[in-house]
A and B are shown apart, each in its own frame.
Chain A
Amino acid sequence: MKEILRAVPQPHASVSVADLRVDLNGAGIPIVDEVSFELAAGEILGLVGESGSGKTTVGMALLGHSRSGLRITGGSVCIGDKDVLRLSERELRAVRGKSITYVPQDPGTALNPALRIGTQLRESLKGQPATEADVLQLLSDVKLPTVPAFLAAFPHQVSGGQQQRVAIAMAFASRPAAVVLDEPTTGLDVTTQSHVLDTIRRLCAKHGVAAVYVTHDLAVVATLANRVAVMYSGRIVEIGPTSVVLTEPTHPYTRALIRAVPDLDGPILLQGIPGQAPAPTSRPKGCAFLPRCPMSIPACMAAPPSLARVAPYHDVRCIRSDVRVQAAVTAGRESASVERIGPPLLEIKALRAFHGSAEILKGIDLALAHGCSMALVGESGSGKTTLARCISGLHKKIDGLMYYDGQILAAGSRNRAVESRRQIQYIFQNPYASLNPRRSIGEAIAAPLREFESVSNEELRRRVGEVLDQVALSRRAAQQYPHHLSGGQRQRAAIARALIVNPTLLVCDEVTSALDVSIQAVIVELLDRLQQERGISMLFVTHNLPLIRSVAQQVAVMQSGRIVELGAVKDVLSRPKAAETTRLIQDAPHFRQA
Chain B
Amino acid sequence: MDWYKDSVYARLVVRRAILGVLTLFLVSLVVFSATQLLPGDTARAVLGRSATPERLEALRAQLHLDDPAILQFARWAGGLLSGDPGISLVNGKPVAELIGPRISNSLVLLGLVGLFGIPPSILLGIYAALRRGRRSDSSVSVVALALAAAPEFVIAIGLILLFSTVVFQWLPPVSMIRPGMSILDRPDILVLPVLTLSLVCFPYIFRMMRASMIEVLESDYMEMAKLKGLSPARLVFLHGLPNAIAPTVQVIALTFAYLAGGVVVVEYVFAFPGIGQGLINAIATRDIPTIQCIVLALAGFYVAVNILADVIVVSVTPRLRARAWQKP
Residues on the A chain within 8 Å of B324, using CB: 157-158
Residues on the B chain within 8 Å of A65, using CB: 223, 226-227
Determine if B221 and A96 form an interchain contact, defined as CB atoms under 8 angstroms apart: no
A109 interface residue (CB < 8 Å to B): yes
Answer whether A98 and B229 are a contact pair too, CB < 8 Å, given A145-B327, A150-B325, A157-B325.
yes
Determine if B228 and A170 form an interchain contact, defined as CB atoms under 8 angstroms apart: yes
Determine if B224 and A96 form an interchain contact, defined as CB atoms under 8 angstroms apart: no
Give the distance in Å from the alpha carbon of A327 to the alpha carbon of B109 in the complex.
82
B49 interface residue (CB < 8 Å to A): no
Determine if B228 and A124 form an interchain contact, defined as CB atoms under 8 angstroms apart: yes
Determine if B229 and A109 form an interchain contact, defined as CB atoms under 8 angstroms apart: no
Residues on the A chain within 8 Å of B219, using CB: 109
Which one, A93, A110, A153, contacts B230 given CB within 8 A?
Answer: A93
Determine if A96 and B319 form an interchain contact, defined as CB atoms under 8 angstroms apart: no
**Contact digits for A107-118, partner B, Cβ 8 Å, 1 yes 0 no:** 001111111100
Residues on the A chain within 8 Å of B225, using CB: 112
CB distance from A542 to the nearest CB of B (A): 27
Answer whether A114 and B228 are a contact pair too, CB < 8 Å, given A109-B221, A147-B328, A157-B325.
no
Give the distance in Å from the alpha carbon of A98 to the alpha carbon of B227 in the complex.
10
Answer whether A123 and B224 are a contact pair too, CB < 8 Å, given A112-B239, A149-B1, A154-B319.
no
Within 8 A of A (CB), among B47-94: none
B243 interface residue (CB < 8 Å to A): yes
Q: How many residues of chain B are within 8 Å of chain A by beta carbon? A: 28
Determine if B229 and A113 form an interchain contact, defined as CB atoms under 8 angstroms apart: no
B6 interface residue (CB < 8 Å to A): no
Determine if A113 and B221 form an interchain contact, defined as CB atoms under 8 angstroms apart: yes
Determine if A113 and B243 form an interchain contact, defined as CB atoms under 8 angstroms apart: yes
Within 8 A of B (CB), among A47-100: 63, 65, 67-68, 92-98
Give the distance in Å from the alpha carbon of A96 to the alpha carbon of B228 in the complex.
5
Q: Give the nearest-CB partner of B226 in chain A.
A: A65
B220 interface residue (CB < 8 Å to A): yes
Answer whether A68 and B229 are a contact pair too, CB < 8 Å, given A114-B242, A115-B239, A152-B1.
no
B322 interface residue (CB < 8 Å to A): yes
**Contact digits for B313-328, partner A, Cβ 8 Å, 1 yes 0 no:** 0001111001111011
Determine if B319 and A113 form an interchain contact, defined as CB atoms under 8 angstroms apart: yes
CB distance from A538 to the nearest CB of B (A): 37
Residues on the B chain within 8 Å of A98, using CB: 229
B238 interface residue (CB < 8 Å to A): yes
Interface centre among A68, A112, A156 (most CB of B within 10 A): A112
Which one, A93, A102, A112, A145, contacts B243 given CB within 8 A?
Answer: A112
Determine if B229 and A110 form an interchain contact, defined as CB atoms under 8 angstroms apart: no
Determine if B325 and A153 form an interchain contact, defined as CB atoms under 8 angstroms apart: yes
A484 interface residue (CB < 8 Å to B): no
Residues on the A chain within 8 Å of B1, using CB: 149, 152
CB distance from A10 to the nearest CB of B (A): 26
Q: Give the nearest-CB partner of B241 in chain A.
A: A114
Give the distance in Å from the alpha carbon of A115 to the alpha carbon of B240 in the complex.
10
Interface centre among A67, A116, A126, A157 (most CB of B within 10 A): A157
B185 interface residue (CB < 8 Å to A): no
A101 interface residue (CB < 8 Å to B): yes
Give the distance in Å from the alpha carbon of A68 to the alpha carbon of B226 in the complex.
13
Give the distance in Å from the alpha carbon of A110 to the alpha carbon of B219 in the complex.
8
Give the distance in Å from the alpha carbon of A40 to the alpha carbon of B225 in the complex.
26
Interface centre among B1, B225, B238, B318 (most CB of A within 10 A): B318
Answer whether A114 and B227 are a contact pair too, CB < 8 Å, given A104-B220, A157-B323, A157-B325.
no
Determine if B242 and A115 form an interchain contact, defined as CB atoms under 8 angstroms apart: yes
Give the distance in Å from the alpha carbon of A401 to the alpha carbon of B32 in the complex.
56
Q: How many residues of chain A are within 8 Å of chain B by beta carbon? A: 38
Within 8 A of B (CB), among A114-171: 114-116, 123-124, 126, 145, 147, 149-150, 152-154, 156-158, 167, 170
Give the distance in Å from the alpha carbon of A23 to the alpha carbon of B252 in the complex.
42
A365 interface residue (CB < 8 Å to B): no
CB distance from A160 to the nearest CB of B (A): 12
Q: Give the nearest-CB partner of B2 in chain A.
A: A152
Residues on the B chain within 8 Å of A93, using CB: 229-231
A106 interface residue (CB < 8 Å to B): yes
Give the distance in Å from the alpha carbon of A63 to the alpha carbon of B221 in the complex.
16
Give the distance in Å from the alpha carbon of A156 to the alpha carbon of B317 in the complex.
11
Give the distance in Å from the alpha carbon of A374 to the alpha carbon of B225 in the complex.
46
Answer whether A149 and B228 are a contact pair too, CB < 8 Å, given A109-B219, A112-B221.
no
Determine if B230 and A156 form an interchain contact, defined as CB atoms under 8 angstroms apart: no
Determine if B243 and A153 form an interchain contact, defined as CB atoms under 8 angstroms apart: no
Give the distance in Å from the alpha carbon of A149 to the alpha carbon of B242 in the complex.
22
Answer whether A149 and B328 are a contact pair too, CB < 8 Å, given A98-B229, A115-B239.
yes
CB distance from A461 to the nearest CB of B (A): 43
Determine if A97 and B227 form an interchain contact, defined as CB atoms under 8 angstroms apart: yes
CB distance from B328 to the nearest CB of A (A): 5
Residues on the A chain within 8 Å of B327, using CB: 145, 147
CB distance from A119 to the nearest CB of B (A): 8
CB distance from A305 to the nearest CB of B (A): 33
Give the distance in Å from the alpha carbon of A150 to the alpha carbon of B324 in the complex.
11
Give the distance in Å from the alpha carbon of A221 to the alpha carbon of B224 in the complex.
24
CB distance from A180 to the nearest CB of B (A): 9
Answer whether A95 and B226 are a contact pair too, CB < 8 Å, given A112-B221, A112-B239, A153-B325.
no
Give the distance in Å from the alpha carbon of A101 to the alpha carbon of B226 in the complex.
11
Give the distance in Å from the alpha carbon of A67 to the alpha carbon of B318 in the complex.
28
Determine if A123 and B325 form an interchain contact, defined as CB atoms under 8 angstroms apart: no
Residues on the A chain within 8 Å of B319, using CB: 113, 154, 156
Determine if B228 and A97 form an interchain contact, defined as CB atoms under 8 angstroms apart: yes
Give the distance in Å from the alpha carbon of A113 to the alpha carbon of B241 in the complex.
12
Residues on the A chain within 8 Å of B224, using CB: 102, 104, 110-112, 167
CB distance from A462 to the nearest CB of B (A): 47
Determine if A114 and B229 form an interchain contact, defined as CB atoms under 8 angstroms apart: no
Give the distance in Å from the alpha carbon of A170 to the alpha carbon of B229 in the complex.
12
Give the distance in Å from the alpha carbon of A124 to the alpha carbon of B227 in the complex.
10
Determine if B220 and A154 form an interchain contact, defined as CB atoms under 8 angstroms apart: no
Determine if B228 and A110 form an interchain contact, defined as CB atoms under 8 angstroms apart: no
Determine if A157 and B322 form an interchain contact, defined as CB atoms under 8 angstroms apart: yes
Residues on the B chain within 8 Å of A97, using CB: 227-230
Q: Give the nearest-CB partner of B218 in chain A.
A: A68
CB distance from A57 to the nearest CB of B (A): 13
CB distance from B25 to the nearest CB of A (A): 31
**Contact digits for B227-253, partner A, Cβ 8 Å, 1 yes 0 no:** 111110000001100110000000000
CB distance from A154 to the nearest CB of B (A): 4
Give the distance in Å from the alpha carbon of A93 to the alpha carbon of B227 in the complex.
8
Residues on the A chain within 8 Å of B229, using CB: 92-98, 126
Determine if B325 and A110 form an interchain contact, defined as CB atoms under 8 angstroms apart: no
Interface centre among A67, A113, A152 (most CB of B within 10 A): A113
Give the distance in Å from the alpha carbon of A51 to the alpha carbon of B218 in the complex.
21
Q: Give the nearest-CB partner of A93 in chain B.
A: B229
Give the distance in Å from the alpha carbon of A436 to the alpha carbon of B14 in the complex.
43
Give the distance in Å from the alpha carbon of A149 to the alpha carbon of B220 in the complex.
25
Q: Give the nearest-CB partner of B324 in chain A.
A: A157
CB distance from A397 to the nearest CB of B (A): 25
Answer whether A102 and B227 are a contact pair too, CB < 8 Å, given A109-B220, A113-B318, A153-B325.
yes
Give the distance in Å from the alpha carbon of A109 to the alpha carbon of B242 in the complex.
15
Give the distance in Å from the alpha carbon of A147 to the alpha carbon of B319 in the complex.
21
Give the distance in Å from the alpha carbon of A170 to the alpha carbon of B225 in the complex.
11
Determine if A110 and B221 form an interchain contact, defined as CB atoms under 8 angstroms apart: yes
What are 9 inter-chain pairs, A to B, with CB distance below 8 A? A65-B227, A96-B229, A106-B220, A110-B221, A114-B243, A123-B230, A157-B324, A158-B325, A167-B224
Instruction: Please give me the 8 A-B residue pairs with the lowest Cβ-Cβ distance, nearest first.
Output: A96-B229, A157-B325, A114-B242, A97-B228, A97-B229, A153-B325, A109-B220, A154-B318
- Residues on A lying within 8 angstroms of B by beta carbon are 63, 65, 67-68, 92-98, 101-102, 104, 106, 109-116, 123-124, 126, 145, 147, 149-150, 152-154, 156-158, 167, 170
Further 16 A-B residue pairs, CB within 8 A, beyond A96-B228, A147-B327: A96-B226, A97-B229, A101-B227, A102-B227, A102-B228, A109-B219, A110-B224, A113-B319, A114-B242, A114-B316, A116-B318, A123-B228, A150-B325, A154-B319, A156-B318, A158-B324
